[in-house]
Chains A and B, each alone.
Chain A
Amino acid sequence: QVQLVQSGAEVKKPGASVKVSCKALGYTFTRNYIHWVRQAPGQGLEWMGIISPSDGTTGNAQKFQVRFTMTRDTSTSVVFMELSSLRSEDTAVYYCARGGVLGELSWLDYWGQGTLVTVSS
């Protein structure tokens, strides 16, 4: 069955970077876009960006144009997201989610379990 398995929780200091992985299982990795969505404590969902596992092209939300990078490794079916220059406001649960072939227009049908990133001095 389709699963997205994310790496474990991270604690980082302000100004540092964090890299979170998302391993895709149970389907052909290159067929579906992967989205990243975050949720600050007690807050709503915030779309961050999208990557095509097929060719590696990415699209970021305007808010994350500079500090947010997505990559993929087709040999292991893993997508990575990296957020740099962390600040306390980046404390959140980060989710990867599988999208359809319509890119940013698609719904998200499978979600990872989430990775809590805590930014604290």
Chain B
Amino acid sequence: QSVLTQPPSVSGAPGQRVTISCTGSSSNIGAGYDVHWYQQLPGTAPKLLIYGNTNRPSGVPDRFSGSKSATSASLAITGLQADDEADYYCQSYDSSLSGSVFGGGTKLTVL
């Protein structure tokens, strides 16, 4: 059971928009700690997608965007492409655990 809750799976057709939620609590996202997002393609290491809730590293397309509100955060992907099919993870800090935590991950399927 992950401290940060993500839907196990989401799906969308090419060109569509999908969102992935990351729900936390008052000891992590709700305490004001930043949320970061990663994309993990099959058989590869995770890749940083969004940092500090809304920021994209150099090279990440602007089709990917992040937001945060109260005790949750969201990753939005617009103009869905076949190679967006991957697992997506959120990450934050939890003060009651005194450490970083990941969400359980969401598998994105492009129909």
Q: What residues make up the interface of A, taking CB atoms closer than 8 Å to B?
A: 35, 37, 44-47, 49-50, 59-62, 95, 97, 104-105, 107-109, 111-114
Contacts and interface: CB of A to CB of B under 8 A. Distances in A.
A111 B2 contact: no
Q: Is the interface of A mostly helix, strand, loop or mixed?
A: strand
Contact of B51 (A59, A61, A109): A109
A108 B2 contact: no
Contacts of B33: 105
Q: Is the interface of B mostly helix, strand, loop or mixed?
A: strand
Contact of B46 (A45, A104, A105): A45
A111 B46 CA distance: 7
Contacts, number: 66
Contacts of A95: 45-46
Given A95-B45, A108-B36, A111-B45, A47 B99 contact: yes
A37 B104 CA distance: 13
B86 interface: no
Interface stretch (B18-26, B75-83, B89-97): B89-97
